[in-house]
Amino acid sequence: MALVDKKKSIKALLPPVGVLVVLAASLICSFVPALASVCIFDRQAVLHGQLWRLITCHLVHFSFVHFTYDALAFGVAGAIFRKKHYPYFVSFCLLAAICISGLLLLLKPHMAFYGGLSGIACGALYFCALLGLLESGPWQKVCLLTALFLPGKIAMEFLTGAPMLPYGNYQTFIPVQESHVIGCFVAVLFYLGRNISISGSHPLIDQGRD
């Protein structure tokens, strides 16, 4: 019986199947050059009508370390959504993907190529943190820390112009901090748009309590 319970608790910690599918797709897109060239954010191609790249570009990564870091963050975000029964994960990811790519297209006119899941991952983590603030107990403290850390880190990166803990190896791309800002901004919009209240008997909060 205890073994069954343990298995259940481990299973609950795993990211949802959808997240694992996205990570598998990302792995394939990142390391199969033919797929990467079709999926990557290519400014000229997007402007010539290949609009799918606005969504698929987030699946493409430029190195194994790049993929691992992003996959970890995205996997953790997915696992939280699953464990806490937070809804709108898919719609959030889709909206964040389109907003990040679309705004980068406008804001970064010199950037020819873009790829990476981190904008969506950061946004999803921030969305979780905002939702968690409405709960009580240890989870609320964890979410408060996250809600303070993420904007602080992004602000520091903007001020210094470099990641706080850069990659150890040679990097073939320039980190785009704006994607994290847009991700968090979409999270705030999503949070406000869903009109979640502390006192309300919203199913999300009821299900999400420890």
Partner 1 sequence: MCLITLFAAWLFSSGCGMLRSSQHQSSSAVKFLYPEQNDHIETPGIPRLALPIKVGVAFVPEVTGTNQNLTERDKMELMTEVSRDFKKYDFVKSIEIIPSAYLWEKGSFANLDQIRTIYGIDVIALLSYDQTQFTDEGLASITYWTLIGAYIIPGEKNDTHTMVDAAVYDIQSRKMLFRAPGVSHIKSKATPVNLSEQLRGDSLTGFQEASKDLVTNLESQLSLFKEKVKNQPEDYQIVHKEGYTGGGSVDGMTILFLGFLCGYWLWLTRKRA
- Site for partner 1 contains 114 (CB under 8 A): yes
In Å, what is the CA distance from 188 to each residue of 90, 94, 104, 115?
16, 15, 18, 23
Q: Least separation, in Å, of the C-beta of 192 and partner 1?
A: 23
Stretch that binds partner 1, among 45-53, 87-95, 154-162, 192-200 (CB under 8 A): 154-162
Stretch that binds partner 1, among 29-37, 48-56, 153-161, 188-196 (CB under 8 A): 153-161
The angle, 0 to 180 degrees and rounded to 10, between the axes of the packed helices 178-193 and 89-107 is: 140
- Site for partner 1 contains 76 (CB under 8 A): yes
- Site for partner 1 contains 26 (CB under 8 A): no
- Site for partner 1 contains 66 (CB under 8 A): yes
- Site for partner 1 contains 82 (CB under 8 A): no
- Site for partner 1 contains 84 (CB under 8 A): no
Residues 86-121 as b or e (16 or more Cβ within 10 Å = b): bbbbeebbebbbebbbebbbeebeeeebbbbbbbbb
Residues 37-50 as b or e (16 or more Cβ within 10 Å = b): ebbbbbbebbeeee
Contact between 95 and 188 under an 8 Å Cβ cutoff? The reply is no
- Site for partner 1 contains 105 (CB under 8 A): no
The binder of partner 1 chosen from 7, 28, 52, 149 (CB under 8 A)? 149
Contact between 103 and 182 under an 8 Å Cβ cutoff? The reply is yes
DSSP-based three-state secondary structure for 209:
coil
- What is the binding site for partner 1 (CB under 8 A)? 58, 61-62, 66, 69-70, 72-73, 76, 100, 104, 108, 110-122, 125, 137-139, 141-142, 145-146, 149-150, 153, 157, 160-167, 169-176, 179-180, 210
